[in-house]
Structure 1
Amino acid sequence: MPQPFDPIAEAHRQWTRRWPEHADHMAAVTSIMRVQQLLLSRVEEALKPYALTFAAYEALQLLALARTGTLPMGKMGRRLMVHPASVTNVIGRLEQRRLVVRRPSPDDRRVVLAEITEEGRATAREATTALNECAFGLPGLTPGEAAEITERLLALRVAAGDLPQDAHARPERR
């Protein structure tokens, strides 16, 4: 349901009166945060039939894309950009559903591996189809517009220290 007025525009108006040199930055951050809420809601709605959160989907898909279907839990945390405890929690829930199994690494028993099951692969495929069909919550954007957003947000990520200065935004296009 659309808002009857734009609260961000009103906040921008108020900020402009008090701190005009910061009003645009405040509105940009607030807009990004609101869009994040909207996108997460759309993505999680698409994943609801598979009983997956976006975090669980990302972990499952990461394993599905791994050459062997297996990754160390620590590496998963780095690739998913989350705390190790979050990976443990998500993998535990996926394991309860028999979408993933955990086992010690044969090379180093201190390392715990997560491995996707066949049922997990099927769930990842179906959930990916659903997300692709809803354009990952970005209906109405062309692929070029989505790539432009990614490119513009890269500058923020680099400035925040998330990536090195020479990071490249545009993913390889096929």
Structure 2
Amino acid sequence: MSSETKSSPNDLQLFITLSRAHQWVTAHVQKDIRRSGLNPTEFGVLELLYHKGEQPLQQIGEKILMTSGNITYVIDKLADKGLAQRKASSTDRRVIFAEITERGRQLLNDIFPPHAEAISKAVSGLTEEEREQAIKLLKKLGIAAQTSFT
């Protein structure tokens, strides 16, 4: 701990409260995802491809915080289900893209609106104003933690 950082009795309480809130919100979201026949990792990759278009395999992991080995496995599972496919780069033979298939796009068209509703339900304990305030505070907390990480 640097000499500029002072410990507060609330530090541990904030950490515990934040962790528990995250755990319960995540539980709501994961329960909803499982209804679609996907696991949370498959859903995360499919959602990325749905919203951002084709992605190089090596960049998918960075965007959804997964290792490249796991991405290969997840893309294989999504391909087996007909929801995503690999596509070679036309400009660099070393680069392989993943893209959502029409079947995957249709699945997300069907399940994303209820998924967004499940997220809304999970965070409904706060008013809209409180949610805006929480977003600002949590961004501030995350940036500070990232900056101080060594």
Same fold (TM over 0.5): yes
**Is the Cα contact below 8 Å between 1:131 and 1:137 reproduced in 2?**
no
Q: What residue is the counterpart of 1:97 in the other structure?
A: 81
Once the two structures are superposed, the pairs formed by residues 128-143 of structure 1 within 5 Å of their partners are 128-134=112-118, 135=120, 137-143=122-128
Deviation at 1:130, TM superposition (A): 1.5
Match of 1:153 among 130, 138, 143: 138
Q: 1:148 to 1:36 in 2, by over 3 A?
A: same
The answer to whether the aligner puts 1:51 opposite 2:37 as a matched pair is yes
Identical residues among aligned pairs (%): 26
Q: Measured at CA, do residues 155 and 63 of structure 1 come closer, stay the same or move farther in structure 2, by a change above 3 Å?
A: same
Q: Look up the match of 2:68.
A: 84
1:13 is aligned to none
- Evaluate the alpha carbon distance shift between residue 91 and residue 161 of structure 1 in structure 2; reply closer, same or farther with a 3 A threshold: same
Alignment correspondent of 2:4: none
- 1:26-45 alignment runs, 5 A limit: 26-45=12-31
Task: Answer whether contact 2:49 2:55 (CA < 8 A) is retained.
Answer: yes
Q: Distance between the aligned counterparts of 2:64 and 2:8, measured in 1?
A: 32
Residue identity opposite 2:104 in structure 1? G
Kindly provide the amino acid, as one letter, of the partner of residue 78 in structure 1: E
CA contact (8 A) 1:47 1:130 kept: no
How much does 1:28 deviate? 0.9
Q: Which structure would you say has the larger RCO, counting Cα contacts within 8 Å and 6 or more residues apart?
A: 2
Q: Name the SS for the 2:92 alignment partner.
A: coil
CA distance in 2, matches of 1:55, 1:80: 8
TM-score scaled by length of structure 2: 0.81
Give yes or no for contact 1:44–1:52 (8 Å, CA) kept in 2. no
Shift, 1:136, TM fit: 6.2
Point out the structure with the larger helix share: 2
Structure 1 gaps of 5+ residues are 1-20, 163-174
Alpha-carbon distance in structure 2 between the residues aligned to 1:95 and 1:144: 41
Would the alpha carbon gap of residues 80 and 148 (structure 1) be closer, same or farther in structure 2, given more than 3 Å must change? same
Structure 1 length as normaliser, TM-score? 0.71
Name the count of aligned residue pairs. 140
> How far apart in 2 are the matches of 1:60 and 1:131?
13
1:110 to 84, 94, 105: 94
